Amino acid sequence: MTLFDRHILKSMIGPFFFALMIVIFLFLFQFLIKSLDQFVGKGLSIWVIIQLISLNLAWMLTLAVPMAMLVSSMMTFGTMSSNNEITILKASGVSLIRLMIPVFLISIVMFYLMVRFNNDVLPEANHQARVLLYDITKTKPTFILEPGKFSDDLNGVQILVKKTFPNSNNIEGVYIYNYSNPNSKDLLTAKRGDISFSADFTKVIMNLYDGEIHQYNMKNGNQDYRKIIFEKHRLTFDAEGFGFKKSDDNAFSRGDRELSANAMKTVVDSLKISRDNVYENFTKNLNSDLSRVTRLNFIDTVFFRSQNDTALNDNPDITRKRNLTAYDTLNNYIKLFTGKKNEVKNIKESYIQLGKQINSYDVEIHKKYSIPFACIVFVLVGAPLGYRVKRGGFGIAAGMSLLFFLLYWACLIGGEKLADRGIVSAFTGMWIADIIIGCLGLYLIFKSS
């Protein structure tokens, strides 16, 4: 490795990590804005929120690394160009392609590392993030009482309070309607009280003072009314769902984004076998039913008996049986063809659905490699573009990188949708973005050389 090779690689380190942090911050900000309403007001611990963010950093890193390679290569060669370093080296017989070799080798290393990351780390992170988000979603919001409004957050109980106090659990003017027991309707009133959760969030505890309990019992058809006056009374209610509970990761099935490429290939092979079996079984059944129809000799049936056969035509009993036989024969074959029509429709839907699942897994398999490969194609674009711009500022490099990344992203998303629908192959849909950006990079290298 020559001196200028080390100089180029050293110049890339700072811009790479700076761009990486900026891109991850933007993705993280977007994620928090999108998911904020799912965990605000649920009493989640800081550790749960940190864990959710950490798990989602995996997919952010997958997208941020290629863009950081683009920004860093553009800034490095832009700075060298503005300082006339590249001009001096080219005058000494060193070409732009030779200068790009160390950066290109680093991009290959990054491609390999990101492929391993996408197959070993990303699937597990996606799976745990989905399970954690499910646990957060099913967690009920923190129990809140609003003055003058009935609260039915607790099963079988409605609570109304006239007044609450900020920064305090105290309440005044309490009315509690308990209908959890079908044989008893209880109404409880109290002048004041306080409300809190148990330590494990499984119970709501209410301490009430100066109140009355009105009980209406309707067991066995008898109506019984009781009134109880109390100075202090404690109530506890089940509060299942208010506290966060972590589910077992193994209890959830894995989707296509939660599997490695090898695991998805196994699933695809299984789906293809199932699809082939559906087609083969349908073909066998159809051929069997068609053979039954072709063996029917219509000339020998009651439809074609001679009208001059008076022995048959003049016999009412034979005529009636012949008509019934004709009707039954026609009706049976109408049912046969109707049933086959519905069977064809169902099999077609099953065949199409299996094809969609295969396409979806194929797309994710190619995505495991096409997105990391962007580390290479972005270097092919960033180096000559930075040399031609001749300005190494982060603002210009980031702006131009954003344009190329948006072009890449549009091609990637469009190709993914077309591949999922079966309009194009999974390879074409997921690699078209790399092909377009790569060809553009080769053109810029040719023009710059």
Q: State the amino acid at position 131 in one-letter form.
A: V
Residue 179 falls inside a structural domain: yes
Residue 297 falls inside a structural domain: no
If 0-12 CB within 10 Å is exposed, 13-18 middle and 19+ buried, where does residue 105 land? middle
SS3 6: helix
Burial state string for 406-437 with b = 16 or more CB within 10 A and e = fewer than 16: eebeebbeebbebbbeeebbbeebbbbbbeeb
Phi, psi for residue 424 in degrees, rounded to 5 = -125, 165
Residue 144 falls inside a structural domain: no
> Which pLDDT score is estimated for 309?
46
Q: Residue 292 pLDDT more than 60?
A: no
Number of structural domains the chain divides into: 2
Q: Which has more pLDDT, 252 or 184? A: 184
pLDDT-based confidence at 311, cuts 50/70/90?
very low
> Which pLDDT score is estimated for 414?
93
pLDDT-based confidence at 307, cuts 50/70/90?
very low
Nearest to residue 162, comparing CAs of 198, 178, 151? 151
What is the model's pTM? 0.70
Please indicate, yes or no, whether residues 34 and 115 belong to a single structural domain of this protein. yes
Locus of tokens 């499984």: 202
> Which pLDDT score is estimated for 381?
92
> Which pLDDT score is estimated for 352?
83
Q: At which of 196, 218, 238 does a domain end?
A: 238
pLDDT tens-place string over residues 402-442:
888 889 999 999 999 999 888 899 999 999 999 999 999 99
SS3 81: helix
Helices (H), 162-315: 261-294, 310-313
Please indicate, yes or no, whether residues 14 and 122 belong to a single structural domain of this protein. yes
pLDDT-based confidence at 313, cuts 50/70/90?
very low
C-alpha span between 354 and 267 (Å, rounded): 11
Cross-strand pairs, 207: 194, 234
Please indicate, yes or no, whether residues 186 and 130 belong to a single structural domain of this protein. no
DSSP structure string for 185-224: EEEEEEEEEEEEE-TTSSEEEEEEEEEEEEEEE-GGG--E
Please indicate, yes or no, whether residues 131 and 174 belong to a single structural domain of this protein. no
C-alpha span between 343 and 337 (Å, rounded): 10
pLDDT-based confidence at 144, cuts 50/70/90?
low
Q: At which of 221, 238, 255 does a domain end?
A: 238
Q: Which of left, alpha, beta for 227 (phi over 0: left; psi -120 to 50: alpha)? A: beta
